[in-house]
Amino acid sequence: MKRLSFSIILILLIIAASDMPHAKVTGQCDNCHTMHNSQGGAPMARGDQAWDGTGGATDARPNLLVASCIGCHSSTGTDTIKTYNGIDFPIVYNTSEPTTNLLAGGNFYWVATGCTGANCGNAKGHNVLGISSADETLTAAPGNVNFCSGSCHISLATTDFGAPGCCGCHMYPAHHADDTGPVVGAAVSSTDGYYRFLAGHMSGNNHGVCGIEDPDWQATKGAGDHNEYLGWSGDKGYAAGFYNLGHTMTAFCCGCHGNFHKEQDSSGNWIRHPSDAEIPATGEYQYAFGSVGGGATGTYDPDVPVARAALTSVTSTVTIGGTSPDLVMCLSCHRPHGSPYYKLMRWDYKNWPGSGTDGCGKCHTSKG
């Protein structure tokens, strides 16, 4: 009878557990961890070494991890998703030029140390420790207003400044957090990792990015298949960040590029392209994203993403004008990791109108 009672309780617990929210990372623990860093007399750790590569650091790593952030999210191949034991790993750094399915954030290939192709260089991506050396031209992030010494706002490619590398941006890599909800970061808690683990500190402490994550990181994409970003159109007359722009992607970018949110001088003259600016249903903008004008909606283009004033679900249209129009943001034009184009642009504007692309024409419809 005792065995029967125990069996019934065990079955009930299994059924209850099956209804619990799933963690972001599933599968066997040893897909990512090694208990003793030893198997058959050989170390299991591979440090920063890319998938399918050899020669990485084999010393035991913090949190019993087999590989670092770079080791898990880089590959010697050209595919941008690596599947291992049924788990998909988004690849943001390929040691061979990625040719298909570039993920939403782009790729560090074109800024990496050792990249010698025609499209390579410091202007093609963010410099990150373990992938590239410090920028050869810039001494701090463009538009930086945080000139405190020993700051990761100066460089993510050196050990001199606090938390360098990937964790300088992805501060709370909560891979085990529940991500079943459609809006990540709405609870404003580091325990859920925020959207893509993007968070702030100091004046932006307890703040992170809110968004809706595409399940395959936009390896496949379309009008109704993409990430969703939160935006907020506030005063554009000052440097900004989480403390005054809320949990938006633009606020996060402003942590290092704060002055780029100051768009007009004291006389009201435009000095920078607006970020988190509402798309109006006037002039050339009323035809943005293929809208027929008069405040009609346009078709969402994942290659030129917009931000929303509120997030509820993935939407295949762009709202032009009205009481709550969609917004142009930092990521509308730039990929945060890197791209083959100048200044991390999403499209080859410098070679337009020849072989390039006029992504600007999505909003500036009369400038083509």
Q: Residue 205 above 80 pLDDT?
A: no
Interval 26-85: pLDDT, tens: 788 888 999 999 999 999 999 999 998 888 889 998 899 999 999 999 999 999 999 988
61: closest CA among 49, 74, 79, 73? 49
246: closest CA among 160, 306, 186? 186
- Can you say whether residue 27 is alpha, beta or left, with left for phi > 0 and alpha for psi between -120 and 50 degrees? left
301: closest CA among 357, 236, 368, 234? 357
Question: For the chain, which residues make up each domain, given as ranges?
Answer: 30-96, 141-149+158-335
Interval 212-259: pLDDT, tens: 999 999 999 999 999 999 999 877 767 777 777 888 999 899 888 888
Predicted local confidence at residue 188, as pLDDT = 58
Quick one: CA dihedral 107, 113, 114, 117, positive or negative? positive
Lowest mean pLDDT segment, chosen from 114-123, 133-142, 282-291? 133-142
- Give the bridge partners for 184, in sequence order: 211
Mean pLDDT of the chain: 85
Average pLDDT for 182-193 = 71
Q: Which of 265-269, 292-296, 302-306, 364-368 has the highest mean pLDDT?
A: 302-306
Distance CA 274, CA 344 (A): 17
- At residue 163 the predicted structure's pLDDT band, cuts being 50, 70 and 90, is low
What is the pTM for the complete model shown?
0.89
Q: Residue 7: CA atoms inside 13 Å, Cβ hemisphere, count?
A: 4
Lowest mean pLDDT segment, chosen from 42-46, 54-58, 114-118, 182-186? 182-186
Predicted local confidence at residue 98, as pLDDT = 92
- At residue 266 the predicted structure's pLDDT band, cuts being 50, 70 and 90, is confident
Average pLDDT for 320-337 = 95
Predicted local confidence at residue 1, as pLDDT = 53
Lowest mean pLDDT segment, chosen from 132-136, 288-292, 296-300? 132-136
Task: Report the relative pairing of strands 317-318 and 277-278 from DSSP bridges.
Answer: unpaired
**H or E segment to which residue 328 belongs:** strand 327-328
- At residue 15 the predicted structure's pLDDT band, cuts being 50, 70 and 90, is very low
Predicted local confidence at residue 147, as pLDDT = 59
Judge contact between 271 and 158, C-beta under 8 A.
Answer: no
- Outline where the chain has alpha helix (H): 2-18, 69-72, 242-245, 249-257
Interval 133-157: pLDDT, tens: 888 888 888 877 765 656 667 788 8
